[in-house]
Chains A and B, each alone.
Chain A
Amino acid sequence: MNPSPVIELNGVGVSFGGKAVHRDLSLRVEEGQIVGLLGGSGSGKTTLLREILGLLQPDSGTIRLFGIDLNDPDVDRQRNLRRRLGMLFQQGALFSALSVFDNIAFPLRELRCLDADWIRRLVHLKLAMVGLEPTHGKLMPAELSGGMVKRVALARALALEPELLLLDEPTAGLDPDRSQNFVELVGSLQRELGLTVVMVTHDLNTLAGLATHVAVLADQRIIAFGPKDEVMTVDHPFVTGFFGADRRKLL
Chain B
Amino acid sequence: MSTSPRLLVEPGRVVLSGCWTLAEMLPQLAALEAKLVACTSHNDWDLSEITRLDSAAAVLLWRTWGARWPDGLVAAELHRQVLKRVAELPQEIAEQARPRLRFPEMVGALLLKAVGNLLGMIALFGQLLLDAAYLVRHPQDVPWKEFTANVYKAGAQALAVTALVGFLIGVTISYLSALQLKSFGADLFIVNILGISIIRELGPVLVAVLVAGRSGSAMTAQIGVMRVTEEIDVLSTMGISRTIRVVLPKIFGLTVAMPLLVLWTSAVAMFGGMLAALLQLDLSFAYFVDNLPRAVPVANLVIGLSKGVVFGFVIAIVACHFGLHVKPNTESLSASTTSAVVTAITTVILFDAIFAVFTRNIGVP
Give A contacts to B, CB under 8 Å.
Answer: 1, 80, 83-84, 95-97, 101, 111, 113-114, 117-118, 120-122, 124-126, 128-129, 134, 137-138, 140-142, 160-161, 163, 188, 191-194
Contacts and interface: CB of A to CB of B under 8 A. Distances in A.
Contacts of A80: 23
B1 A142 contact: no
B59 A125 contact: yes
A71 B64 CA distance: 41
Interface in B16-55: 21-23, 26, 29, 51-55
A163 B51 CA distance: 14
A97 B59 CA distance: 28
28 contacts: A80-B23, A96-B329, A96-B331, A101-B96, A113-B29, A114-B56, A117-B63, A118-B56, A120-B95, A121-B63, A122-B56, A122-B59, A124-B90, A125-B86, A128-B85, A128-B88, A134-B90, A137-B96, A138-B96, A140-B329, A160-B22, A160-B23, A161-B21, A161-B22, A192-B53, A192-B78, A192-B82, A194-B52
B354 to A, nearest CB: 38
Contact of B60 (A118, A192, A193): A118
Given A125-B59, A192-B81, A142 B23 contact: no
B328 interface: yes
A120 B93 contact: yes
B54 A125 contact: no
Contacts of B54: 161, 192-193
Given A111-B26, A122-B59, A161-B23, A142 B328 contact: yes
Contacts of A122: 55-56, 59
B346 interface: no
B78 A121 contact: no
Contacts of A121: 59, 63, 86, 89, 93
Interface residues of B, number: 34
A1 B331 CA distance: 45
Contacts of B78: 191-192
Given A101-B96, A120-B95, A163-B23, 14 more contacts: A96-B331, A97-B330, A97-B331, A118-B60, A118-B63, A125-B55, A128-B88, A128-B89, A129-B85, A134-B90, A142-B327, A192-B79, A193-B54, A194-B52
A120 B1 CA distance: 33
Contact of A161 (B55, B329, B331): B55
Contacts, number: 80
The 6 A-B pairs of least Cβ separation, nearest first, read A96-B329, A97-B331, A161-B54, A142-B328, A161-B22, A121-B59
B284 interface: no
A141 B329 contact: yes
A156 to B, nearest CB: 14
Contact of B26 (A113, A138, A140, A194): A113
A113 B93 CA distance: 20
Nearest to B60: A118
A162 to B, nearest CB: 9
A18 B59 CA distance: 51
Contacts of B86: 121, 125
B23 to A, nearest CB: 6
B359 interface: no
A13 to B, nearest CB: 32
B180 interface: no
B3 interface: yes
A118 B59 contact: yes
A125 B22 CA distance: 15
B85 A125 contact: yes
Nearest to B82: A192
A80 B24 CA distance: 11
A101 B96 CA distance: 9
Contacts of B1: 1
Nearest to A135: B94
A193 B52 CA distance: 6
Most A-side CB within 10 Å, residue of B60, B81, B96: B96
Given A97-B329, A121-B93, A140-B329, A193 B85 contact: no
B141 to A, nearest CB: 33
Contacts of A160: 22-23
A144 to B, nearest CB: 11
Interface in B79-113: 79, 81-82, 85-86, 88-90, 93, 95-96
Interface string B322-336: 000001111100000
A227 to B, nearest CB: 23
Contacts of A142: 327-329
B95 A83 contact: no
A195 B240 CA distance: 50
Nearest to B22: A161
B85 A83 contact: no
B5 to A, nearest CB: 13
A113 B29 CA distance: 8
B60 A96 contact: no
Contacts of A194: 52
Contacts of B51: 1
Most B-side CB within 10 Å, residue of A101, A122, A138, A160: A122
